[in-house]
Structure 1
Amino acid sequence: MPPPLPTLATPTLLLILLIASPAVSCSSLPPEDGIRIVSAEKRIDLTAPIVKVFLTLKVENAPAANDDASRVLLAFTPTEAQHLSIVKATRAEGKRKKKSYVPLPVEASDLDTTATNGARLYSVLLSSPLKPGEATTLEVLYVLTHSLEPFPAEISQSEPQLVYYRDSAVLLSPYHVLEQVTYIKMPSNRIESFTRFDPTSRAGTEVKYGTYHNQMPSSYLPILVHYENNRPFAVVEELVRKVEISHWGNIQITEQYKLKHGGARHKGVFSRLEYQSRPSISGASSFKNLLARLPPRVHSVYYRDEIGNISSSHLRTDSHKSELEIEPRYPLFGGWHCTFIIGYGLPLQDFVFESVDGRRYINLTFGCPLLDTVVDDLTIKVVLPEGSKNPQPVVPFVTEKHLETSYSYLDVVGRPTVVLKKKNVVGEHNVPFQVYYEFNPIFMLAEPLMLISAALLFFIACIAYLHMNLSIGKSS
């Protein structure tokens, strides 16, 4: 069934604007106007709720170019830019078995004002500039969240989940693309419909667009794919991770989750009997368990919600990793929510180290431990020991950062707390980050001395009370 007219209005309007607008002239491009894409392969992975796009670009600086090329621009539509979670790029060096991939920095470009039709540009900074006539191969990965649109928007318990995905059959690029092909991978053979632009072919769960030749800059051919996707659409609306460091040998981590099913909304009445009797059919798009990958050597693990402890969890640990399989109190259907807390302890010596300049630092993993989830709003609070000074977080991507003060038992001046915030977090953000700080070991004696002083004062008060004569006697 085709979508209603308002749903198609945006891509249709974009197509009209792109066709009506003239090709980008060389004078309107940045200094790397000599760049052209010799071949482009675009692979779109739609097997999960999170869309992953892999690009293989053979980029050449034209022999007639006047300058070396120090960067390559990537273009995204405004809608893609809104749902863009992360962009990673590598450069292939060497040949065949000796080939290696060198990571390249990617940053938002300041050339958006010169881009055609509001496209958002990102710059891939080359480790060594391309001289005129030279070519190189780039491998690009970018991740899109909330890009799958359920259609129909509401389904009953026994219906499968169908979704729309919108993209372009050709690569949106500010450069001339000589040759390009696009592959779209779906999770099952049930593909309701897909847009056709010759040449287009389908083989099982994969649709191929191309090969297309001599695409002008900013070319765009909108496509729409309608297919079945019953993978768990697990969305963490808010995650607050609190990391408390104690130099007495322990790190305590508490994670508060607000989870929802982000797929097609459930309609009708939920039948537990039907769900348990036909698990493969009834509630095929729902999910009742999640897997959290925790650091190795965890201890004191707990999993609870507002009611209390939830016993439906399984912990598997070894020397390399720990996996916690959790089950909410009820299966989650589209639009349903639940909240819960996961807590665990870690040995201090595995995650807190001393740097060469004498500072201490904690090395942890950013992101969410739940696999195959999107985190709309992530907050990480690293609570340092009392007496710590000059905290400095080191995160390999842009985050919101600020400092605050936390108080716990026996604290006098409070504990410095580093707060990191980021939106639209996916599994590719699960990389190490550090927080450096200065700490004088003399502060470790503060709390024991307070306890000893309180005990001494208590005993002195008891002795004074026993030696006091509070009886009422006769006056002499």
Structure 2
Amino acid sequence: MRLFSIAAAVLSLASAAVCAEKGNLTTPLTSRVVLPANFKPPQVFKNANLVHIVNLERGYPRELINVVIENIASTPQDEYFIPFTSQQMETIGGLEVKDKKDADGRLFEVEAVEFDPQSDTQFYRVRLPKALAPKAQQTLAISYSFLSSLRPLPSRIEQQENQFLVYTFSAYCPSSYVTSKQKTEVKFGTANIPEYTIIPGGKGEPESPQKQGTKFTYGPFGEVPAGALEPVRVRYEFTKPLIHVSRLERDIEVSHWGGNIAFEERYTMHNRAANLTKQFSRLQWAQQQYYNPPTTAIRELKFPLKVGSLTPYFTDVIGNVSTSRFRSNKREASLEIKPRYPIFGGWNYPFRIGWDADLKNFLRKLNGGDSYVLKVPFLEGPKQPEGLEYEHIELRIILPEGAENVKYSTTMPHISSSLGLHKTFMDTLGRTTLTLHAHNIVDDLRDRDVIVTYDYPFLAGLRKPLVIFGGVLSCFVAAWAVGCLDVGIRGKRS
């Protein structure tokens, strides 16, 4: 019987060696390129027409730039530079660039470049998939968001008082190139906008902004030189929470033997809304609930899960969250939880949730061989009308013990990755774990998937049963051997 234990151990070491040899991750989507200190983007492009859209309907600003670029150089060009300030570089998230006229086209390669750490202007470099010929044009759609960029003013309010936010941007869209014609549209979620910057008209241009319901339009403006700015400050009503998740730890554990996939998410949540001027009044809060007025407090969290999700659990630092509702049928799976207290501005709420699902809904085996394809959401989490922003996300995909040749692909922007081992109950050397890190992500990207391919040999699947069998058998043999020992005390024979 000892032979079984030795064989299982040798099998474990051999599988680990193969995994280490064949392990291969795709190249991360971001890189850091250092340019000379005197770098300036070459003036090889011109923005023939540009529309800058600033969306302030949610708890974070989302910006979209639709621009027609024209190659004004004498040779084909494939590098387009987008400028940002140093502060914006720290808070920018989800920067994506694609061809505006090709809705199903792939995203362009985007890199953060650095040329002078002391400079206030930094750049993202966009590589066009095909070099643009001289005098040719292409329409780019550039989208991104900024985290922690909305500031409550005043910073403290009464429990029933309305909240106002301030956001600062430029009416001239920041660009590294000359812009022939442009305008900036600002979309609000309310018509109550007591303060905003007015830009006088000139040279036949009307005064800005022009108002149309909850939309302001700055411009159109004539030719604007590269790097030109026109600061604009708006203050508007936003009586909703500003939900900020400083850290989300998301685990996805795959079990071939049990046919199960387990999800667990651990949140460190903070409300960035205006703080209360006085202590929270539970009586006043209870009275408000009769007519359900808008509030800056987080009252509940709604998690739309994948169809077929089951056995959810939800706890905070005290214990189980008892106020909850879970619905699961053939069309939907939804989990709703209410925190123990309304989370007002400046308050934190750490908690965790988890659930199980049938593995066959996420995993497919390829024809021939021992290769598998796993498709799971990169981000799920709450779906709130005001939106959520995530400062740091750590996703761990825990594969079966012995999985090898791991590769992944995802359209989530700016991902870093690593491959390691995760030891859990009854493991020998540990389970193969793919860890992905993302920064400054908003819930607009919650529909992005991660596709993981890996090999899981048949012998690797037998490793754990053999080890368990050998271990149990060894215990019985040891117990039998101990039972055969003569431990009695007898006197000497004369």
TM > 0.5 between the two? yes
- Percent identity reads 25
Q: Partner of 2:14 in structure 1?
A: none
Q: Partner of 2:188 in structure 1?
A: 186
Q: Partner of 2:317 in structure 1?
A: 306
Partner amino acid, structure 2, of 1:373: L
Q: Partner of 1:352 in structure 2?
A: 363
Q: Partner of 1:446 in structure 2?
A: 463
1:224 deviation in Å? 0.6
CA distance in 2, matches of 1:446, 1:182: 62
Q: Partner of 1:14 in structure 2?
A: none
Q: Secondary structure at the match of 2:434?
A: strand
Q: Secondary structure at the match of 2:173?
A: coil
Q: Partner of 1:48 in structure 2?
A: 58
Partner amino acid, structure 2, of 1:246: S
Partner amino acid, structure 2, of 1:437: Y
Is 2:114 the counterpart of 1:91? no
Q: Partner of 2:428 in structure 1?
A: 412
Is 2:222 the counterpart of 1:218? no
May I ask how many residue pairs the two structures share in their alignment? 441
Counterpart of 1:66 (choices 70, 74, 83) is 74
Partner amino acid, structure 2, of 1:189: A
Answer whether contact 2:98 2:141 (CA < 8 A) is retained.
yes
Counterpart of 1:330 (choices 341, 348, 351) is 341
1:88-125 deviations in whole A, cap 9, x for unaligned? 222144xxxxx75534314135475599x732222333
Counterpart of 1:227 (choices 233, 236, 245) is 236
CA distance in 1, matches of 2:117, 2:341: 51
Q: Partner of 1:398 in structure 2?
A: 414
Q: Residues 103 and 448 from structure 1, CA distance in 2 versus in 1: closer, same or farther, beyond 3 angstroms?
A: closer
CA distance in 1, matches of 2:343, 2:228: 41
CA distance in 2, matches of 1:44, 1:312: 37
TM-score by length of 2: 0.81
CA distance in 2, matches of 1:303, 1:254: 9
What does 1:190-205 correspond to in 2, within 5 Å? Answer: 190-198=192-200, 199-200=207-208, 201-205=210-214
Counterpart of 1:424 (choices 436, 440, 446) is 440
Is 2:250 the counterpart of 1:241? yes
Q: Partner of 2:67 in structure 1?
A: 57
Counterpart of 1:104 (choices 101, 107, 121) is 107
Q: Partner of 2:375 in structure 1?
A: 363
Q: Partner of 2:7 in structure 1?
A: none
Q: Secondary structure at the match of 2:74?
A: coil
Q: Partner of 2:160 in structure 1?
A: 158
Q: Residues 128 and 447 from structure 1, CA distance in 2 versus in 1: closer, same or farther, beyond 3 angstroms?
A: closer
Which sections of structure 1, spanning at least 5 residues, go unmatched? 1-26, 94-98
1:336 deviation in Å? 0.8
1:59-83 deviations in whole A, cap 9, x for unaligned? 2223xx3112323332223332221
1:458 deviation in Å? 5.6
Q: Partner of 2:169 in structure 1?
A: 167
Q: Residues 79 and 451 from structure 1, CA distance in 2 versus in 1: closer, same or farther, beyond 3 angstroms?
A: closer
1:335 deviation in Å? 0.8
Counterpart of 2:280 (choices 233, 247, 270) is 270
Q: Secondary structure at the match of 1:334?
A: coil
Q: Residues 124 and 450 from structure 1, CA distance in 2 versus in 1: closer, same or farther, beyond 3 angstroms?
A: closer
Partner amino acid, structure 2, of 1:342: I
Q: Partner of 1:5 in structure 2?
A: none
Q: Partner of 2:303 in structure 1?
A: 292
CA distance in 2, matches of 1:153, 1:324: 33
1:207 deviation in Å? 1.7
CA distance in 2, matches of 1:104, 1:243: 27
Answer whether contact 1:157 1:266 (CA < 8 A) is retained.
yes
1:30 deviation in Å? 4.4
Q: Secondary structure at the match of 1:296?
A: coil
Q: Partner of 1:79 in structure 2?
A: 87
Answer whether contact 1:293 1:324 (CA < 8 A) is retained.
yes
Q: Residues 458 and 268 from structure 1, CA distance in 2 versus in 1: closer, same or farther, beyond 3 angstroms?
A: same
Q: Residues 114 and 209 from structure 1, CA distance in 2 versus in 1: closer, same or farther, beyond 3 angstroms?
A: farther
1:359-387 deviations in whole A, cap 9, x for unaligned? 33422111342232111221112222222
Q: Secondary structure at the match of 1:82?
A: helix
Answer whether contact 2:184 2:218 (CA < 8 A) is retained.
yes
RMSD: 3.0
CA distance in 1, matches of 2:126, 2:78: 9
Answer whether contact 1:157 1:282 (CA < 8 A) is retained.
no
Q: Residues 218 and 40 from structure 1, CA distance in 2 versus in 1: closer, same or farther, beyond 3 angstroms?
A: same
CA distance in 2, matches of 1:472, 1:118: 87
TM-score by length of 1: 0.84
1:191 deviation in Å? 1.0
Answer whether contact 1:368 1:375 (CA < 8 A) is retained.
no
Q: Secondary structure at the match of 1:411?
A: coil
1:443-465 deviations in whole A, cap 9, x for unaligned? 32333334444554566677778
